[in-house]
Amino acid sequence: MDLRQMEYLLAVAEERHFTRAAELAGITQSGLSAAIRGLETELGTALFTRTTRRVELTEAGRALLPYARRMLTQAAGARDAVVKASHEVTGSLRIGAEQCLGFVDVAALLERFHRRYPRVETHFTQAGSQDLVAMTRSGDVDVAFVATTKHLGSLPHRTLGQESLVLLTPPEHPLAADAASGHEVPWEALEGADVIDFTPSWGMRDLNDDAFAAHGVHRHVRCTVNDVHTLLDLVTRRLGVAIVPRHVAAKPQAAPLRAMAMSPTTGLSWTVSVVSSAWDRVEAPSARLLELLTDAAAA
């Protein structure tokens, strides 16, 4: 058993889907599948049950899972201890992020950065992507995690991941039957619908505005929010429907709701990027944070 196999095991266990797990781990699906098969061969037992629609842990897989997490945590701690002992970094770091991005755990990243570089004073700002891009451009933020492809211009950035959009409705909504049948919902079906959406500075609001305009569909934004969990609560309380990135539909708070793919989806995807105006300042704390993004354990 090695750390890569443990990383892949966790990715499949969390995503319950080999394709999405491969995207999360930054490997081809065939490479991930081969690594899992090799681990199963080494242990002499199946770790997952596989169907055409879902992947589930076996009893053996569930038994291995906490040890896999412990191995990765210990390895990350060991690397941090070595870096801390050999590279004393000081200064300040200003980080910004939109909420619930899906491709980076910002809180975990901040925790690990602080553990590795305790003498760096860190400041964290949560805001909409449009505001964060402006703050990065003006120098008020060193590194920002955003969900937008607009207004980046010449700002150095790197895409962390992309995923499709889904429609969330209460279970008794007329469109909810499409969730059970697996049918996609045409944008025209949302003509005049009451919608729960984010404030204009959020990446998802920008994406929704463009999507509805591109399909010539008019919606009624009944509630505007600055929090993903408030959005899910309002949809659950039947105040409207919402279009969100697919990972939001997997949250426990979304369990009572129905999630359906939209059609067509051409050119529409939730794109998460890291943006920094100090990318080339190799000795700056911001560069050390960006280094952690390439560490699979940090991800």
Q: In which band, very low, low, confident or very high, does the pLDDT at 78 lie, cut at 50, 70 and 90?
A: confident
Structural domains of the chain, count: 3
146 with 194, same domain: the answer is no
Q: Look up residue 93 and give its DSSP letter.
A: E
194 with 253, same domain: the answer is yes
Residue 59's pLDDT is 92
Residue 80's pLDDT is 60
Among residues 228, 241, 176, 230, the alpha carbon closest in space to that of 202 is found at 228
Distances (CA, A) of 272 to 85, 86, 108: 33, 33, 17
Q: Are 56 and 48 in contact (CB under 8 A)?
A: yes
User: Each residue of 136-187: pLDDT tens digit?
Assistant: 888 899 999 999 887 777 788 888 988 889 999 999 998 887 656 667 889 9
277 vs 296: CA distance, rounded Å:
24
Looking at the chain, the whole-number percentage of residues with pLDDT higher than 90 is 43
CATH number at residue 63: 1.10.10.10
Beta carbons within 10 angstroms of residue 25's beta carbon: 21
Q: What is the mean pLDDT of residues 279-288?
A: 73
- What are 64's two structure tokens? 């291995």
Residue 189's pLDDT is 92
119 vs 61: CA distance, rounded Å:
40
26 with 69, same domain: the answer is yes
Evaluate whether residue 297 is within a structural domain. no
Evaluate whether residue 190 is within a structural domain. yes
Residue 297's pLDDT is 39
Burial (CB < 10 A; 0-12, 13-18, 19+), residue 30, is exposed
Q: Domain boundary at 83, 103, 136, which?
A: 83
CATH number at residue 190: 3.40.190.290
264 with 208, same domain: the answer is yes
Residue 102's pLDDT is 87
231 with 214, same domain: the answer is yes
Q: Domain boundary at 83, 98, 122, which?
A: 83
Q: Domain boundary at 53, 83, 113, which?
A: 83
pTM tops 0.75, yes or no: no
Q: Are 186 and 263 in contact (CB under 8 A)?
A: yes
198 with 241, same domain: the answer is yes
Residue 96's pLDDT is 95
User: Each residue of 2-38: pLDDT tens digit?
Assistant: 888 888 888 888 878 888 788 767 788 888 899 999 9
User: Integer distance in angstroms from the first to the last C-alpha of the chain?
Assistant: 20
Assign 164 to helix, strand or coil: coil
Residues listed for the chain: 299
197 with 246, same domain: the answer is yes
Residue 199 has pLDDT above 50, yes or no: yes
254 with 195, same domain: the answer is yes
Q: In which band, very low, low, confident or very high, does the pLDDT at 197 lie, cut at 50, 70 and 90?
A: very high
Residue 298 has pLDDT above 60, yes or no: no
CATH number at residue 99: 3.40.190.10
39 with 185, same domain: the answer is no
Residue 247 has pLDDT above 80, yes or no: yes
Per the structure, the complete domain to which residue 263 belongs is given by 165-268
Evaluate whether residue 299 is within a structural domain. no
- Please, what is the average pLDDT of the chain? 86
137 vs 146: CA distance, rounded Å:
13
Evaluate whether residue 116 is within a structural domain. yes
Evaluate whether residue 223 is within a structural domain. yes
Tokens 């065939």 appear where? 30
Residue 221 has pLDDT above 80, yes or no: yes
Q: What is the mean pLDDT of residues 80-85?
A: 62
Residue 84's pLDDT is 58
